[in-house]
Amino acid sequence: MKLEQGGLTWNVRDEGSGPPVVWIHGYPLSARIWDAQMAIPGVRHIVPDLPGFGESAPPPGAMTIPGYADGVLAVLDAAGVRAAVVAGLSMGGYIALSLAGKAPDRVAGLLLVDTRETPDTPEARQKRFEAIEQVRREGVRPIADAMLPKMLTAHTIETSPGTAAAVRAIMESASPAGVEAALRAMAERDDATPLLPRLTVPVLIACGSEDTVTPPSDAARMKNAIPEADLVLIEGAAHLSNVERPAEFNEAATAFLRRIGAWR
Ligand code: MLT
């Protein structure tokens, strides 16, 4: 499905049937990172490419995290879905939390994957703006070079060159405008900490045991702040825990979806 929303074009995969799950990818990635999750049976998978990533057109201007969340809500509207389980990886998690804050009645559950609730430190924000300058000068390839060793463990990069090549290809297909907009949106994002104790839906937090971008300590802090949250550590995975250990990830996600399947 293609959706026009506020001057943006969203490309959306819509597969399977059952209770809906919307899967929001991270930076600088695309809907393709969720390929292995499409095997989870019994649910409807709604998987957008954020503007400027995958097959969605580059955004014409600046984006914000709440702005992406508005787009995901428009995707749900277009799919005829009132409430969905909202799954987000990293930047997708920032968007999922923003969506949960602004439209709690549209969220049947949250699957927070390798993400955090806290905003950027001043140093991290500064690095985002330096990365924007780099993208303008050199394009997205250096970003992909720098991110690959954080996305996957050294072991996976060495022993599964196909997986590493696929993740690299996804990152290199991002448009410079999409990358710039995402970097700015992440740098300027709000602190979602006050939201966590107010979440009333079931939450599953998944985190790669080797994740250095949003480490297990972030996941543990979120779990402690959310009234109804479980935490699963995906052993031997880095930032893309769902890509690196799809069987373990899908087992945990499937159990969570089954447990809350009664929301219909
Ligand atoms: C992501 O995977 O979405 C990003 O690495 C998150 C971030 O840089 O904060």
pLDDT tens for each residue of 47-87: 999 999 999 999 999 999 999 999 999 999 999 999 999 99
* Amino acid found at 157: I
Residue 262 has pLDDT above 60, yes or no: no
Nearest partner of 95 among 125, 81, 76, 116, judged by Cα:
116
The pTM is what? 0.97
Q: Give residue 213 CA to ligand 1 midpoint distance, Å.
A: 7
Calculate mean pLDDT across residues 209-229.
Answer: 97
Q: Give residue 9 CA to ligand 1 midpoint distance, Å.
A: 22
Residue 261 pLDDT grade (very low, low, confident, very high; cuts 50, 70, 90):
confident
d(CA 205, CA 197): 15
Mean pLDDT over the full length of the chain? 97
Residue whose CB lies within 8 A of the most ligand 1 atoms, among 186, 190, 207, 212, for a mutation test: 186
Residue 263 has pLDDT above 60, yes or no: no
Is residue 9 within 8 Å of residue 57, measured between CB atoms?
yes
d(CA 179, CA 46): 22
pLDDT tens for each residue of 126-148: 999 999 999 999 999 999 999 99
% of the chain with per-residue pLDDT over 70: 99
91 within ligand 1 shell (Cβ under 6 A): yes
27 within ligand 1 shell (Cβ under 6 A): yes
208 within ligand 1 shell (Cβ under 6 A): no
The pLDDT, as a whole number, for residue 238 is 98
Looking at the CA of residue 115, tell me the nearest atom of ligand 1. 6
Q: Residue 152, SS3?
A: coil
pLDDT tens for each residue of 22-47: 999 999 999 999 999 999 999 999 99
pLDDT tens for each residue of 95-106: 999 999 999 999
Residue 171 has pLDDT above 80, yes or no: yes
Residue 264 has pLDDT above 50, yes or no: no
d(CA 32, CA 238): 17
d(CA 50, CA 72): 9
Where are the strands (E) in the chain, listed by range? 2-5, 8-15, 20-24, 44-49, 84-89, 107-113, 203-208, 229-234
Strands 107-113 and 203-208: parallel
